[in-house]
């Protein structure tokens, strides 16, 4: 079996927001595949970040697909505005969705790829019934809310389990990881089965964006 292509999605949470367009263009030039955008409402997570207006500004700054991660309560009330702002993928947290299946359908209906996101304490089984209804699963490898936290080791097993389910049913579902991804963890999550790596600190706080992205790719390839 040929190795899965691994995509790198820099998280702008760790970027300089005063120069956001420039930062996004810089990671695009440095070889990023997607731009990961963290939306936080100050309720589902304690931190508060950005809304559709900023997503629109990021959309205008790059050709890359925007992977929008909603860490908000009741995402069904506002997810269409993120699609209208230019999100290619919209991720909703399992824990924030009372009617998860319906909300995932709503994302696709609005014209975006549907991503389902699990917190570290949420078991893999929580998303098994909707695996056939999503384009992506995002396994949080830190508790959401902040950049720069340490990778939670116990998530490796969850990644491997979800990878098995995807492969057994031959599903076209991306398996993304987010939190504490960098040198030392990138290779391990890819070996466990991840094929999209979100990285904030490891890219935007590195002295060279091209070098940081190349280092992640090298580790992901196991070279
Ligand atoms: C955390 C966010 C992440 C964050 C990752 O709640 O979902 O996308 O930016 O940051 P690092 O890569 O620094 O752990
Ligand atoms: Zn994120």
Indicate the pTM of the whole model.
Answer: 0.98
Q: Which ligand is nearest to the CA of 150?
A: 1
d(CA 71, CA 223): 34
Q: Supply the residues annotated as catalytic.
A: 38, 178
Distance 101 CA to ligand 1 centre (A): 25
Q: Encode pLDDT of 112-144 as tens digits.
A: 999 999 999 999 999 999 999 999 999 999 999
Q: Encode pLDDT of 11-68 as tens digits.
A: 999 999 999 999 999 999 999 999 999 999 999 999 999 999 999 999 999 999 999 9
| pLDDT above 80 for 3 | no
As a whole number, the mean pLDDT across the chain is: 97
| % the chain with pLDDT above 90 | 98
Residues 157-179, mean pLDDT to the nearest whole number: 98
Distances from the Cα of 29 to the Cα of 63, 65, 210, angstroms:
11, 14, 8
Distance 172 CA to ligand 2 centre (A): 21
Q: Whose CA is nearest to atom 6 of ligand 1?
A: 144
| pLDDT above 90 for 223 | no
Confidence of residue 4 (pLDDT cuts 50, 70, 90): confident
| % the chain with pLDDT above 70 | 99
Q: What is the pLDDT of residue 2?
A: 55
| pLDDT above 80 for 1 | no
Distance 1 CA to ligand 1 centre (A): 31
Residues 92-113, mean pLDDT to the nearest whole number: 98
Q: What is the pLDDT of residue 209?
A: 98
């Amino acid at each position: 079996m040929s190795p899965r292509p691994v995509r790198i999605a820099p998280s702008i949470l760790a970027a300089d927001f005063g120069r956001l367009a420039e930062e996004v263009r810089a990671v695009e030039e440095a070889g990023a595949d997607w731009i990961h955008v963290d939306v936080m409402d100050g309720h589902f997570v304690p931190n508060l970040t950005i809304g559709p207006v900023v997503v629109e500004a990021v959309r205008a700054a790059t050709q890359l697909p925007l992977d929008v991660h909603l860490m908000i309560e009741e995402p069904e009330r506002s997810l269409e505005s993120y699609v209208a702002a230019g999100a290619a993928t919209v991720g909703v947290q399992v824990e924030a969705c009372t009617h998860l299946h319906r909300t995932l359908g709503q994302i696709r209906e609005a014209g975006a790829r549907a991503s389902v996101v699990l917190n570290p304490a949420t078991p893999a089984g929580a998303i098994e019934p909707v695996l056939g209804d999503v384009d992506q699963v995002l396994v949080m490898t830190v508790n959401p809310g902040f950049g720069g936290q340490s990778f939670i080791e116990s998530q490796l097993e969850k990644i491997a389990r979800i990878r098995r389910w995807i492969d057994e049913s031959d599903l076209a579902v991306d398996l993304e990881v987010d939190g504490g991804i960098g040198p030392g963890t990138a290779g391990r999550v890819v070996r466990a089965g991840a094929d999209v790596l979100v990285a904030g600190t490891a890219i935007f706080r590195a002295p060279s964006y091209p070098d940081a992205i190349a280092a992640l790719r090298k580790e992901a390839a196991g070279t």
